[in-house]
Each structure stands twice: as structure tokens, then as C-alpha cells.
Structure 1
Amino acid sequence: RLWKETINTLKGGICSLIEVYNALIQPKKDPVTGQWSNIGKHIVQAHKHLQHSEEMANLALKRLDAIKYIEKTIEELGKKKLSNERKLSDSEKDLEQNRKDQTSINQKIQGEKEKKDAAKRILDNGQLISGVGTGLLAVPVLGWIA
């Protein structure tokens, strides 16, 4: 709509310039006043039309700049979004790998605890056997004393 308005005001300005041109090329004398045609009036009217056209064109250019800025911002945000999605995907992969590593470590810890418990049972059994052996060793000594 703004572009149509701008074009229409430019058309009005051009028409006014044509009227000025025609008034200069073929001046007409007013029979009542004896003055030449209103060239000044046509010039003022053309000037107003052209000023209005310039204002409309400036407004249209400002809006175009705003649209370009918004488009650029949208493009940059799209790039940021894509980058963040990649980072999120990478982070999710890292998290999954860390969970697998944690599971593996927990399994190793459990295995080591089981080895420790088995070693403790062997040690406890060894102490029991050692105690029995000491007790058996004491029998001949006691028997010899008795």
C-alpha cells in the first residue's frame, strides 16, 4: 500500500511538472487581469507534490530497512537455533556416553567388592584353619605334659 501511495504521489509530481512545462512553453495571458498564466501556482503545486513524494519515498525506504533488519535478525536467530540444536545433540550424546561409562564403573566397583568379599572369606577360613591347626598342635604337647 505504501509503495502504491509513493508511486501515486510521484505521478502527481510528474503531472505538476508537465503543467509547469506547458505553462512555460505556451504561456497564456489572462484576459481579465492581463497577467500571464499562473506559472508560479503550478511551480508551487509541483514542489508540494515532489516534497510529499520524497517524504513517502523516505518512509517506504525506512520500512524497507526495517524489513531487511528483521529478515537479517530472523536469519541470525535461525543460525543460532541450528547451532544450539547441534550443541544439544552433542551434549545428549556425551550424556549417554557418560551414563554408559558410569554403568561400566559401577560394574567394576561391584566386581572388586565381590573379589574383596571372596578374599575376606578365604582369609577368615584360613584363620579358622590356622586356629584348628594350632589347637591340634597343642594336643600332642598337652598329651606329652600330661
Structure 2
Amino acid sequence: MSDRTYWLCLFNPTTWQEFQDAGAEVMGFPETRQGTVRRIKEGDYLLAYMTGISRWFAVLEATSEPYDDLARIWKQALFPCRVKVKAVVEVKPETGIPALSISKDLRMFDNMKTPNWGLLFRLAPRELHRSDGEFIFNALKNVTA
């Protein structure tokens, strides 16, 4: 898909388990990110990053347009801005790709001071540069190969 956009999406171990328990078909984001969520389109890839262990571990494809839903999936927060997804690539979070191990290959790390790199993973969704998205996607495919 030539016009695919790549997005950062964040999980912690608890929200990942809750996502899995709910069928792994709905990604949710805070209401404060509604404007950004509305830019996600069917066919876009959401690149899953696990906070705490700082690893890329999955690629989810958006299978719907964004919508609002108040049904409770996560205990941490409501995350009412949602998009339906399906996994394209998935590895166990602990065997995912450490963020810093590929930082030299990603534009998102350009001009980032090493002690502050975690700031890149505070807000989601966040659009990633196409070259970064493709690099992470291909790297994750190689983990599963």
C-alpha cells in the first residue's frame, strides 16, 4: 500500500494483556488524542511499542476508520478513540526489538539526546516517518522469520 501511514502505539504489560483478553481487535487511545486518531485510515500500520521494556513487538493493521466507543476494555483508562485492528506481525514483547538497538537507523532519534530518548514514547498515536515505519516493520518480520 503506497499511501500507508505508520503510527506509534503504546502498550504496557497490563494494557497488552487486556487488549489480548478483549480479542486483540480494538486499539484505543485517549480522548485528548482524538484529532490525531481521526487521521488513521484503514490499511495504516500501528507499530506496537512496549513501555517499561522499551521494545517494538508488533505491527497492527487498521481495519476500520476511527470511531468512538465507551465500552470498557482497559482498567487503566477508557481510551474511547478507537480503531479496529488485526495483527500483521507479532512477537512476544520480551523478544521484541530493543528501541536503542535500532535507534541509529531511525529518523525519529535524529537530534535526540540519549538521556531523553524516552520522551519519544510518551504520546500515541503519533505519526512516524515512512522510512522509520518500514524499517521497524521489516525488522519485526525478520524476528519472526
TM-score by length of 1: 0.15
Q: Which protein is richer in strand relative to its size?
A: 2
- Highest RCO, 1 vs 2 (Cα 8 Å, sep ≥ 6): 2
Q: Which protein is richer in helix relative to its size?
A: 1
Greater Rg by CA: 1
